[in-house]
Amino acid sequence: MLSTSTTPRSAIWLPIFAGLCASLVSIGLARFAYTPLIPSLIQAHWFSASDVVYLGAANLVGYLIGALIGHPLARRTSNKSALRLMMLAVTLSFFACGFPLSVSWFFGWRLLSGIAGGAIMVLVAATVLPHVPVARRGLASGAIFLGIGLGIAGSGTIVPPLLSLGLQNTWFGLGLLALVLTAASWFGWPLAAHPATVTPSGNEASVPTDPQVYLLFAQYAFMAAGLVPAMVFLVDYVARGLGAGSHLGALIWVMYGLGAIIGPVSYGFLADKLGARLSIRLVLVVQALAVGLLSISSSFTALALLAVILGSFPPGIVPLALARVHELIPQHHRQQMAWSRATVSFATFQAIAGFAYSALFNASGGHHGLLFIIAAGAIVVALLLEPAMRLLNRHDRLQPVLN
């Protein structure tokens, strides 16, 4: 294999393009295209309102499973084969969801699409970035996860015209788009694993016990809990909760998608300029305010602005958290293990939050504002974890002196 310093520019960007397609299909479309479909799924009587929100949580549970099995699957085949297989699984799930045979049928396919998304998330950066020169890895990471934002924005612009053809054809249209992107990326993956991507066995593969690493895991988990309500319920909040209709809900989702496109690049720029640690603090403050304000906002201008801010969060924190892992852990193989565990932490809280918010939504009679307030609280907890850890460490240092 050619070294990254002598690899032609086109050979560098082909794997990046494949990574972008993978994040676009498996998360950008598989997860986020479901949100603007929620009002139509209810209005077309495919499923009840309570079933629809639980079906949305199925993807989040699958994401956790995928994050856990991604590396074992890749070891049994290869990173390239696993990524191709997961993209095919998502494509198949879109076509299968065009047939509302039962809640369990739909749940199973939404679960499979989530599994594919989780596996791709833990594998894609480790597969692509080692083939990119170090000086370009920040840009490459942003480009890969930009696929999430493009999927969100694309779902907001593609789903409404597809719905005019019928709900079943909407799912088939999404499946066709996923099939095209899977085919376009098929030969873009690196031909062989880079030596640096091999994870050592035994104690060498363990994540360092630096408390800051575990603090990041905890923060990332609470970020996951904080982003779920807007991610799942934003369109339904505007369309049904505020009575503004599906058209305005779709417009707000497009603004959310615009934020999702801006997020990876702007958050990566912040990490480069201010460092990932300070950037995470600033982002958490802004997001807590935005989610809290969403619960009391009803004007289109306010909702559009908040949607842009909130949309930047789900895809933006991925390269930001990855940058923090790289700050804390210099060894590449340990970075890979830490990132895998961070993704599992994120996916666990995201899945738990998905079902908890769904249950609360049904129990409260569809009270969207309550969900947004709780989400803001989760983000505040993520923000306060670091000063709380500093106070605890200071107390532990003072205790022997006081005794």
* The pLDDT of residue 204: 42
pLDDT value of residue 151: 86
Signed CA dihedral, 159, 165, 166, 172: sign only: negative
Give the number of domains in the chain. Answer: 1
Instruction: Give residue 35's pLDDT.
Output: 77
Question: Do the domain assignments include residue 200?
Answer: no
How do residues 230-242 score in pLDDT, each as one tens digit?
A: 988 888 899 888 8
Residue 44 forms part of a structural domain = yes
- 195 assigned to some structural domain: no
Q: Could you give the CA distance from residue 118 to residue 309 in angstroms, rounded to a whole number?
A: 24
Residue 5 lies in a domain: no
* Domain assignment of residue 4, yes or no: no
Domain that holds residue 31: 10-190+205-398
CATH number, position 251: 1.20.1250.20
Kindly report the pTM of this predicted structure. Answer: 0.78
- What is the signed CA dihedral for 385, 391, 396, 402, rounded to 10 degrees? -160
* Domain assignment present for 264: yes
pLDDT tens digits, one per residue of 30-74: 988 887 788 888 888 888 877 887 787 788 889 889 988 988 898
Residue 288 lies in a domain: yes
Q: Running along the chain, 403 residues long, what does each successive block of 10 average in pLDDT?
A: 46 85 92 83 83 82 89 88 94 93 91 93 84 69 83 82 90 95 91 46 51 90 92 86 84 88 84 86 94 89 93 88 84 76 87 85 87 94 88 63 51
Q: Is residue 324 part of a domain?
A: yes
Can you give the pLDDT at residue 119? 93
pLDDT at 333: 67
